[in-house]
Amino acid sequence: MGRSSRGRRDNAGAVYFARQRVPQSPAGVFSLWESPHLSTVLRHAFVPASNQRLANLVGPMESHIRTIEAATQTAISRREGAFKVEGAKRNAQKALEVLQALYEMAGRAISAEHVQLMLAGDAASVHEGDDGVARLSTRRSDLRARTPNQSVYLSHIAEHDITFGIGPAGTGKTYLAVACAVDALERNAVQRIVLTRPAVEAGERLGFLPGDLTQKVDPYLRPLYDALYELMGFERVQKAFERNALEIAPLAFMRGRTLNNAFVILDEAQNTTPEQMKMFLTRIGFGAKAVITGDASQIDLPKGAVSGLLDARRVLKSVKGIAFTQFDSGDVVRHPLVARIVDAYDRVAPRAAAAKAGAKAASPARAAAAAAGSDDAQEQAGHA
């Protein structure tokens, strides 16, 4: 059989198409094969190859390569500085782009977090010194926005007295809010930080939990403690508590207070009622700033109850001085699988809501039909 002008066939029957040479990039050259089954093979050689850069690129036990493979659904192999990426065309191109971008910054160690951020398309936040990205500086660390929505969120907090951050878990809503509060305290922009959240979740009420009040409340407030310890350090957090510059309390303890010159954060706001949300927002005094965070997909209120977070978004969306930031799965900076989990639940949520609405609409119809059937039976009995 004659050789095809477009490719060649090996003994196993696989078809290999002629290599197409692509212009050389700063980091090296790559070549492309396409199979008839829409599978693409990309080859890239990093030149000049640096053993230290390659070691930083692939990570310990090639863990960074495995992360890129899992996130892009590709297969990556290499021989020294030559890499081969195989998968669907778009996925293979994405994986290769990530490899090239990471190699450019491989002069220093690359963390798993950097790889995940690059996979999320946030190359700017990985490189230090880029302009136009919101930053925060605390005595313990320097922080910067990792996604465009995070940058908008930080800008909203800086420019508005009340800011809402709404979105799925892992988007940095609470952590960034606490970081802004610590930054404000260290700059003496506020005199104290007040962190609060509803203390009733998943049907558990404080009275049924063991221990004194602190022991009852602490498990609910642990994420806030964790953020403070990371941003300030254990000793400074304890000293801030001692001089009343830092307070963490259940939302119920906010009633009747006026919080002046304070940075106030309400976490897990999706589990507030509209009455609680109004109570919290009206605690804000002169020189105060408030940030409200929550995830509308994780409401633990009793069935039929209205979330104060969703109600506030509807009522306050046009009020001057209040800003809303909506996060999505693209802002998740945890394990790449978390973003895919969020997307999967978001896809089925409309169908579940439609099915629930259909069931509610069908219930009156079934009741009417049953009543009509009962009337017919009574009428037939009367005739008999």
All domains in the chain, ordered by first residue: 13-119 (3.30.1370.10), 130-334 (3.40.50.300)
pLDDT tens profile 129-147: 444 555 665 555 667 777 8
Statement: residue 12 has pLDDT above 50: no
Please give the pLDDT value at position 323: 95
Please give the pLDDT value at position 30: 46
pTM tops 0.85: no
pLDDT classification of 105: cutoffs 50, 70, 90: confident
**Cβ contacts of residue 5 below 8 Å, gap of 6+?**
none
pLDDT tens profile 189-221: 899 999 998 875 534 454 555 555 556 666 777
| Residue 104, Cβ density class (10 Å: 0-12 exposed, 13-18 middle, ≥19 buried) | middle
Q: Which of 62-66, 104-108, 148-152, 357-361 has the lowest mean pLDDT?
A: 357-361
Question: Rounded mean pLDDT of 260-286?
Answer: 94
